[in-house]
Structure 1
Amino acid sequence: MSQDAAQRNSRAGLLFGLGAYGTWGLFPAFFPLLKPASAFEVLAHRIVWTLIFMLVVLAVVRRLGDLRRISGRVWLLLAAASALISMNWVIYIYAVSNGHVVDAALGYFINPLVSVLLGMLLFRERLNRMQMVALVIAVAAVGVLVVEVGAPPWIGLGLAFSFGLYGVVKKIVPTDPRVSVGVEAGLAAPFAIAYLAVLGWAGTGQFLSNGGWHIVLTVLAGPLTAIPLLFFAAAAQRLALVTLGLLMYLNPAMQMTWGVVVGHEPMPTARWVGFALIWVALAVFTTDAVRRARRAPSVVEPAQITVVEHQGVAEFVGEGDSQGTPRDGDR
């Protein structure tokens, strides 16, 4: 590839990455628009419309045939992934619809560190000194937040661990990300459809009760789930994983800004201290990732990348390890 072509490729990757993370960062502005629907009703619609959208995408890219080649073991793994991402989605929807956007941002700030912890516990990965320091600082930050709130930050921890475990499952699933997201939505769809049917029978569903604009926004929850993931997949093919990993922090930074500036959520001094400690931990973690990436080979084949989706928040994992940072880790 010529230098000009490489630069164009890199610029396109940066735009795709900004599009993905920027869209996810604006989700706190979108999901409250679906009120008065509950978090579970929004989750059910998100699953159904994501499935429909992904079936169209798979048909266009001619990947529907991949479904016949999925083994029984992979089906079980995708079922676990479906349950974990559904749990993550409902926690997130509840948070941004009920004035807990800052708590949701906390979850995405600490998620890379949770991924490191899970890598150590589940894959017996050895942490270097800087990674251990980052984890200790993060634990101290959570301790400060517990003291400030009087209880663990369940929303942030729930988002971080549900998506961290989702990343663990997706790390070992040898399936195209477009196919896997479609399958995950398909496995959850029967439960979502049954739930929506019960709401309709009881007359408590909100889908048809709040005008045409509400219907349009609810349907858009599907494409808005899938499109940033497709942007992310395109970015992952064009950018170094270090660059992609650094872009990841754009999402929680935007969410926290929204929660504080637009949502006027309380930020007492102790909460600022807790977040400051998280940022210090991330700075240590990211510095270590960049340092190691500079020593690693600069070329990463697209086949080495598995895209993992969340709320979204998606992530990426290389074949090297599972820690949630470029090549030396990932989410």
Structure 2
Amino acid sequence: MAESEGGQPNQTSGQTPDPPSAVLSAIVAFGMWGTLPIYWKLVQRFGSDVVVLQRLVWTVVWVLPLLAITKNWRAWVEAMKTPALLRAHGLSAALLTVNWSLFIWANQHGHIVEASLGYFLNPLLNVAIGRVLLGENISRWRIVSIVLAAAGVLLQVILVGRLPWIALALALTFAAYGLARRKSPLGSLTGLAMESVIVLPLALGGLVWIASESRPLAATGSAGDWFLMFLAGACTAAPLLTFAHAARHLRFSTLGLLQFIAPTGQFLIGALMYKEPVTLGVMVSFACIWAGVAVFCVEAALGRKKEGAKT
């Protein structure tokens, strides 16, 4: 679920068209997330564990100044003093760290296509969670989209011969992260800053341990390699800021349609740029999932038209 900086869901009225700047912000955010596999491949020689830990540290370095720039610093300081928020974001920080770790590992070990499957599944899984855990009403067409996605996963098990565990783990951890974030009133940037600071001691401890094993923290240790690691924080903060602007001003349905830019980019990069194998079985299973996504998108678009017709 998209959030405004104040932490409340975007309630943009059907009377107001989507601002072009907000649409562009969403495209930029999802476009950056969709091309991130290129960066993770670029720093593959560093080692997945080092990259994950460095990302956690550099995210703090990038995000804390952004709090001041966006005038969210005071809200973050107050949140850090609130035990209930610390507990809520402790859980979401753990889920986000697991998700990041698996995504980076998958990108660096030839599983970009399967990782993209997880983010195609995620919006559909969110709908299922809303129905089962939150008691939300969903339309018959969204039920159809979920069934098609489930059929795609089952077909992958049958035709490819294995469970797409990377995709399922990414979808589940990110959906669980979204569910955990519902318990907090904090916006995207403030929440990420809180989560980053919570896991910072773990990240620093991990880097100290790696250094004690005489492993390099930045490959050759050159200025260029350290700069690459510094960019890990930007890869986290930049799309988040543009997404936050989009989430404040776009309809849910528009944001829902645009979010599929990211996994589409990941799939194309994995299949075309890095030549990951895409067998007939994989394509058949993806076809079912893409059909589910298409039903989801059409239903969302039609729902927006009906909303506009009523106003």
With structure 1 as the length reference, what TM-score do the two structures score?
Answer: 0.84
**What's 1:130 paired with?**
141
**What's 2:61 paired with?**
52
**1:21–1:251 contact (8 Å) kept in structure 2:** yes
**1:25–1:255 contact (8 Å) kept in structure 2:** yes
Gaps of 5+ in 1: 1-5, 299-331
Change (3 A) 1:194 1:137: same
Give the Cα–Cα distance (whole angstroms) in 2 for the partners of residues 239 and 62 of structure 1.
Answer: 22
1:257 aligns with 2:268: yes
1:194 aligns with 2:205: yes
Give the Cα–Cα distance (whole angstroms) in 2 for the partners of residues 254 and 67 of structure 1.
Answer: 33
2:146 aligned partner, one-letter code: L
2:54 aligned partner, one-letter code: H
**2:76–2:193 contact (8 Å) kept in structure 1:** no
**What's 2:98 paired with?**
87
RMSD value over aligned CA atoms? Answer: 1.9
Deviations 1:44-82 (A, max 9, x none): 111111011111111223322213432322211111110
Change (3 A) 1:281 1:188: same
Q: What are the equivalent positions in structure 2 for 1:19-58 lying under 5 Å apart?
A: 19-58=28-67
Segment of structure 1 superposing worse, 57-66 or 220-229: 57-66
Q: Secondary structure at the match of 1:26?
A: helix
1:99 aligned partner, one-letter code: G
Aligned to 1:236, which of 247, 265, 273? 247
Gaps of 5+ in 2: 1-15
Give the Cα–Cα distance (whole angstroms) in 2 for the partners of residues 148 and 210 of structure 1.
Answer: 45
Identity across matched positions, percent: 32
- Report the alpha carbon displacement of residue 34 of structure 1 after superposing the two structures with TM: 1.0
1:145 aligns with 2:144: no
Deviations 1:114-137 (A, max 9, x none): 111211222122332112111111
- Report the alpha carbon displacement of residue 29 of structure 1 after superposing the two structures with TM: 0.6
With structure 2 as the length reference, what TM-score do the two structures score?
Answer: 0.89
**1:104–1:159 contact (8 Å) kept in structure 2:** yes
**What's 1:316 paired with?**
none
Q: Secondary structure at the match of 2:24?
A: helix
Q: Secondary structure at the match of 1:123?
A: coil
Segment of structure 1 superposing worse, 89-98 or 63-72: 63-72
- Report the alpha carbon displacement of residue 208 of structure 1 after superposing the two structures with TM: 5.6
1:207 aligns with 2:218: yes
**What's 2:172 paired with?**
161
Aligned to 1:245, which of 246, 256, 261? 256
Give the Cα–Cα distance (whole angstroms) in 1 for the partners of residues 76 and 67 of structure 2.
Answer: 10
Deviations 1:180-234 (A, max 9, x none): 1101110111100000001111111331635222111111000111110100111
1:267 aligns with 2:263: no
- Report the alpha carbon displacement of residue 265 of structure 1 after superposing the two structures with TM: 1.0
Segment of structure 1 superposing worse, 271-280 or 59-68: 59-68
- Report the alpha carbon displacement of residue 177 of structure 1 after superposing the two structures with TM: 1.8
Change (3 A) 1:208 1:281: closer
Could you say which structure has the greater relative contact order, defined with CA pairs below 8 angstroms and 6 or more residues apart?
2
Q: Secondary structure at the match of 2:288?
A: helix
